[in-house]
Amino acid sequence: DLTGDSLAQAAGGDYEALRAYLRRRGVAAYEAKVAEIEAAEAGLAAKAGRFFVLAQTDSLWKEHLMAIKFLQQAVSLRGYAQRDPLTEYKLEGYQLFLEMCAQIRRNVIYNVYCFAPEKARVGPDGRTGGEAAAAKAAEKAEKAEKKAAAGSSRKKSGAAAA
């Protein structure tokens, strides 16, 4: 769909026009993906986006902290090269932070475009698959709780009889 010739024709040889064209295409593709996700379940696009941002921020922040720890050790040696370690640490730390932010944006966009939701299946009782599974799990937990409570009351009555 996007070839060098089609991009050159759309931009007319101007860098800013090419940039604006690619931005329009990206926004249109994102809006189409959001519409596809919303067709599966209302509000799912916002939930998925929030999840992707949090997951990427969490994992990349941990990597960033490890990189900062490594940087701290590496910068301490730069004092021998007559360079201010604090200035070096600030500059390189800021670059690492900018790279992390760009990586978060890139990964979130990639995850949104790869996200393929399934429509919720409604069972005979009118509940979706997730709701039915949650109800089953709650029933199972309730039965186990009752069984544990019955077992502990038997132990108490057995200990009282002895």
- Which tens digit of pLDDT belongs to each residue from 139-148? 776 676 677 6
Position 154 scores a pLDDT of: 57
The predicted model scores a pTM of: 0.65
Question: How far, in Å, CA of 104 to CA of 56, rounded?
Answer: 6
Average of pLDDT values for 92-101?
97
Position 82 scores a pLDDT of: 80
Average of pLDDT values for 90-108?
96
Position 133 scores a pLDDT of: 56
Residue closest to 18 by CA, chosen among 5, 7, 30, 28: 7
